[in-house]
Amino acid sequence: MRDKYLYFGIAAPATMAFENHTAQTLQLTTGGFANPLPTGTDFIANGGLKVTVAYNANITFGTGYTDLSGEIEVNPAALTYDGTDTITIADAGANPVWGITKSGTGNHNDWDVTQTKPYDDGDAVVYNSRHLKGIAVSGATTTALTFVPKTGDTAAFATDVVTVTHGSAKFKEFTQGLTDIIADDNKVSGMVVIADDMRSLTMPGDTSSIASVAGVFDT
């Protein structure tokens, strides 16, 4: 049986709202988005966050946007990040296909920035399947997974505990799904998402209705 790498996205996505916004730039803050802020000018290009805008008839959209209703995701081709805190949105003049030009009236412009990938300690954790020490019922809707701690502590009582929330009385279904992934060398290899709160992903073939995941780690 080959090793599998079990991925758990522990953190919910950071978000920041820019309501009645009058600029083509969005400046993230540690109080509004996350602390620390993401770094690197390629963060958006690498899928680290997304920007959406509420449709308003007074906003000018590039020709690439065909569904002009509700919340519209800004194409990454129209976004640049300075690597520190500021996102710039290309206007429709500079980028006729994917640019968006804000309305001249502030209350027409409501933007949201949402994290889509982990970048800070504690956002996510990955364990080799061989380090899974135990699986136990911890509540009607929760199952606790005990792992060898990443601190390297070898004391018998030292553990990392990842708690998965799922449907009521679904311990059997969750456990069966997890152990099938660990044991299956034909269809499963490498890293497998078990639960990811940031991207709302769950393990392949989940029948336990996984809802969320949390962790308590040995220090």
Categorize the per-residue pLDDT at 62 as very low, low, confident or very high, splitting at 50, 70 and 90: very high
pLDDT above 80: residue 113: yes
Do residues 166 and 141 make contact, with C-beta atoms less than 8 angstroms apart? yes
Tokens coding 155: 């004391």
pTM for this predicted structure = 0.85
pLDDT above 80: residue 219: no
> Which pLDDT belongs to residue 1?
66
Which residue has tokens 């803050």?
29
Instruction: Give the C-alpha separation, 75 to 218, whole Å.
Output: 40
How far, CA to CA in Å, does 1 sit from each of 17, 68, 129, 180?
47, 50, 10, 11
> Which pLDDT belongs to residue 76?
97
pLDDT tens-place string over residues 142-165:
999 999 998 877 777 789 999 999
pLDDT tens-place string over residues 122-148:
899 999 999 999 999 999 999 999 999
For the residues of 172-203, what is the DSSP string, one character each?
Answer: HHHHHHHHHHHH-TTT--EEEEEEETTTTEE-
